[in-house]
Amino acid sequence: MLKKYLIFALAISAVLSIAILSITKACVIKINALTKDEVGKIAIDYINNNFVEVGEAKLISVEEMSGVYKVITSYRGMEIPVYMTEDGKYLLDVRRVYNVSENITKKKIDIKVDCNNTIDGYDAVFIYSPSCPHCRKMIPMVESSNIKWYWIYPGNPSCKDINYTRFGFKGYVPHFYCLKNGYNHTGEMTEDMFQEWVSGCGSVNFTSDD
């Protein structure tokens, strides 16, 4: 989510900087312009509802530029600028214009955890976060595979006492650990890579990328 937000912000910053330089000899006439406070609230609400977890992005300031508002936001300790039209209707991106009256559909992910269960009887461990886009891509593969997975979500209170080092976990998700042979893999995999990894889980001749 953070990567998506940063790419979005950096892309529109670059494009708008070029656009503003090209119209310095023109005058700006405001039509149906909103106040800075109104624009700031619309922008931060849209970002929280569509790009990050609700409440994670904070509004720092709003300043007028040539035809747009520059909205400074704060996200996990970083100040990130975004831009909005003066009527508060659109956020601008190099690929598209975001109409703030239309929310981006978020696919709901059910949070699964097995941390309250004994790990005996499971074949492999899957450490993930429901907000991680790479984890989201791997979840259907894990669910449909023919081995039994022990699901761990570090953000769930029931998983706070898990000994993560046992599984070769270094803080990055998705992370996969085979309980039968100790091999592990961190990161998103293609379907073919994942099937190869699953097939090798339990084989003494299987070698991991990690």
- C-alpha distances out from residue 1 to 4, 11, 94, 172, Å: 5, 16, 18, 14
Shared-domain flag, residues 92 and 147 = no
Letter string b/e over residues 48-82, b meaning 16 or more CB atoms within 10 A of that residue's CB: bebbbeeebbebeebeeeebbbbbbbebeeeebbb
Q: Using CA atoms, how far apart are residues 75 and 13, in angstroms rounded to an integer?
A: 16
**Contact between 127 and 50 (Cβ < 8 Å):** no
| C-alpha pair distances (Å), 203 with each of 17, 125, 166, 180 | 56, 16, 19, 8
pLDDT for residue 51? 75
Residue 6 shares a structural domain with residue 82: yes
Euclidean distance between CA atoms 186 and 17, whole angstroms = 38
Residues 89 and 23 placed together within one structural domain of the fold: yes
Residue 35 burial (CB count, 10 A)? 11
List, for residues 67-85, the tens digit of each pLDDT value.
Answer: 788 888 887 788 888 888 8
Asked, for residue 147, whether it belongs to a domain, the answer is yes
For residues 52 and 88, membership in a common domain is answered with: yes
Contact in structure between 151 and 114 (CB atoms under 8 Å) = yes
Residue 42 within any structural domain of the chain:
yes
| CATH code, domain with 147 | 3.40.30.10
128 shares a domain with 92:
no
Banded model confidence at residue 27, pLDDT cuts 50, 70, 90: very low
Is the same domain home to 90 and 141? no
Residues 23 and 80 in one domain: yes
Q: For residue range 93-129, what is the model confidence (pLDDT) as tens digits?
A: 544 566 777 765 555 667 899 999 999 999 999 999 8
What's the domain count of the chain?
Answer: 2
Q: Does some domain include residue 75? A: yes
Domain of 60, in residue numbers:
2-99
Sequence-ordered alpha helix ranges (H) in the chain:
2-22, 36-50, 133-144, 191-200
Enter the pTM of the model: 0.50
In a domain, 210, yes or no: no
